[in-house]
Amino acid sequence: MKGPQTLTRGSSTDLDSMPSPTGAKTLAILDLLSRHPEGLTAADAARRSGFTQNLVFRILKTIVAMGFAVQREDNKAYTLSNRVLELSAPRVGERSLALCSHEALRNLRDETGETVQLLIESDGKGIILEQFRGTHALQVCGEVGMRVPLYSCAPGKAILAAWSKSHRERWYQARGKRLKQFTERTLHRKSDLEKDLDTIRESGFAIDRAEGVEGIHCVAASIADAYGQPVGAITVMAPIARMPESDFPTFGERCRNAANQIEANLRNG
């Protein structure tokens, strides 16, 4: 044994039997880094993967040279770069969702002065694909690439509301009997969440009343392709004091207008 194994997609022995074991091990290291956003040193990656430290070091140097990872100066840990997101960024036809959203995101940020994000769904969770920081001295921000639960944030709920009932049922089954509660306002019961999703479909925008993080409100609207299927959501987030519930309709209309602009860009280029 070379220490505790954290790889879940096959042991090092399984990888050795593949037609291209080095390629498989490179992908395994990328997968390992994706599950440790705080970063891993070469020694940590070797211990967790079960691969030799020399092999891990060569793999890390290669993916850094190709732009898929970066090495931090302070603790020499390796983290994934945004290039991985660029490879997997959703497209509608030949049009990039991120590029088609850029102007609308910037305009929404300028209108509100608050942080604006573009979120997509992947493997049952939300991923921040793009972010424009707000202009206030005190800002609420995330990180591009951050994964978040769909049910505890406005953009995630906007996407859930746009899914078919059968799609949501599969999502619920994968989550288990009970959703994790993050604050006292998290909609962790299916019945409560479904009732909120009905409201979202009626109003055209979603609301997060500090359901994921205490003290933070979010409003969002889903972005649909030409067939009406959700490809992402655009959201504004702010401290409660700057986004009181009385302002939710105003923020919701702005998010819906921005989403409409993105949808038009996706259709027309």
pLDDT, tens only, 89-137: 555 544 678 888 999 999 999 999 999 999 998 888 898 888 999 999 8
Output the pTM of the full model. 0.69
256 is a domain residue:
yes
Given 30, 64, 81, the domain boundary residue is 81
Reduced 3-state DSSP string for the chain: CCCCCCCCCCCHHHHHCCCCHHHHHHHHHHHHHHCCCCCECHHHHHHHHCCCHHHHHHHHHHHHHCCCEEECCCCCCEEECCHHHHHHCCEECCEEHHHHHHHHHHHHHHHHCCEEEEEEEECCEEEEEEEECCCCCCCCCCCCCCEEECCCCHHHHHHHHHCCHHHHHHHHHHHCCCCCCCCCCCCCCHHHHHHHHHHHHHHCCEEEECCCCCCEEEEEEEEECCCCCEEEEEEEEEEHHHCCHHHHHHHHHHHHHHHHHHHHHHHHC
Q: Which domain holds residue 108?
A: 90-268
**Domain CATH for 138:** 3.30.450.40
pLDDT digits (tens, 9 = 90+) for 24-79: 888 889 888 888 878 899 999 999 999 999 999 999 988 888 878 888 878 889 98
Q: Are residues 95 and 158 in the same domain?
A: yes
Q: Are residues 37 and 153 in the same domain?
A: no
Q: Over pLDDT 90: what percentage of the chain?
A: 54
Q: Are residues 174 and 212 in the same domain?
A: yes
Q: Are residues 99 and 197 in the same domain?
A: yes
